[in-house]
Amino acid sequence: MGPPGAGKGTQAELFQRRHGVPHISTGEMFRAAVRADTEVGRRAAEYMRDGELVPDAIVQQLVEDRLMQPDAAAGFILDGYPRTLVQADALDEFLARRGRALDGVVLFDIPEEVVLRRLTGRRVCPVCGTNYHVEHKAPHVPGRCDLDGAELIQRRDDAPETVHRRLEIFRRWTAPLVDHYRALGIFLAVSAQGTAEEVYERIQEFAASRAARAV
Ligand code: AP5
């Protein structure tokens, strides 16, 4: 968990690539649903465009369907979910019914001015959803996705006024989850500043310590 632009998706992608654990991003699932013009996509689109949270019931159904897919049976990384206490409780209950629980929760700690720079420079592939940054993670051919050659775009919700709204939403609804997870003893706040590799190393150390306890 962490504010918009903190680097959650970037880190989750690295963990997926290096550890083979599926990266489950509710934001990416909603963007895919919008692109495919499904009913969920049509319901989520207006909330996302304005930087508001999609209603909990829609999110919960989407996540539970995804977590029941076979590739999530041995573990998963959640990115951008849960974002409210209602979602956190629903997730705890869903996992408990299956004899499972979260192993660890990482908060990406980062000043808002850094987040603003990251979001202004972010570019995304409209076809496969891969994220780039004009300075920190530039594509090989400027403006084109390395994977499929599509022309990169800026996310609509990266417009400055929408980013400010997303930051407000984070402070109001998501930041309170820190106490919930700290009380469970599975929480770590990491500095999300520095290179993506440096942030990865910090999280990797915590993930390894949590995995060692689970064995
Ligand atoms: P979502 O897609 O989850 O957006 P977000 O949480 O605001 O996060 P971002 O994707 O903006 O940022 P990130 O932290 O993943 O950073 P990234 O790695 O891309 O959600 C979008 C919307 O969907 C929400 O507003 C809401 O409407 C809806 N939604 C989703 N989940 C929901 C839920 N559970 N409940 C209700 N509604 C929900 O990095 C950002 C940029 O920085 C990139 O360009 C990257 O290359 C660069 N970068 C990353 N790390 C570094 C680094 N270490 N150094 C330099 N640059 C870096």
- Residues 119-144 have pLDDT tens digits of 999 999 998 888 999 998 999 999 99
Ramachandran category for residue 49: left, alpha or beta (phi over 0 → left; psi -120 to 50 → alpha): alpha
123 is catalytic: no
Distance, CA of 72 to CA of 93 (rounded, Å): 17
Instruction: Report the amino acid identity of residue 167.
Output: L
Q: Quick check: helix, strand or coil at residue 99?
A: coil
Task: Give residue 191 CA to ligand 1 midpoint distance, Å.
Answer: 16
pLDDT in tens, 12-64: 999 999 999 999 999 999 999 999 999 999 999 999 999 999 999 999 999 99
Q: Would you tell me how many other CB atoms lie within 10 Å of the CB of residue 170? A: 20
pLDDT of res. 188:
94
Closest ligand 1 atom, residue 157 Cα: 25
Could you confirm whether 8 is annotated as catalytic? yes
Domains of the chain, with CATH numbers?
8-110+154-214 (3.40.50.300)
For the cut 70, the answer to whether the pLDDT of residue 98 exceeds it is: yes
Judged by DSSP in three states, 177 sits in helix
- pLDDT over 80 at 212, yes or no: no
Pocket test for ligand 1, best of 11, 23, 29, 54 (most atoms within 8 A of CB): 54
| pLDDT higher than threshold 70 for residue 215 | no
The per-residue pLDDT for 123 is: 95
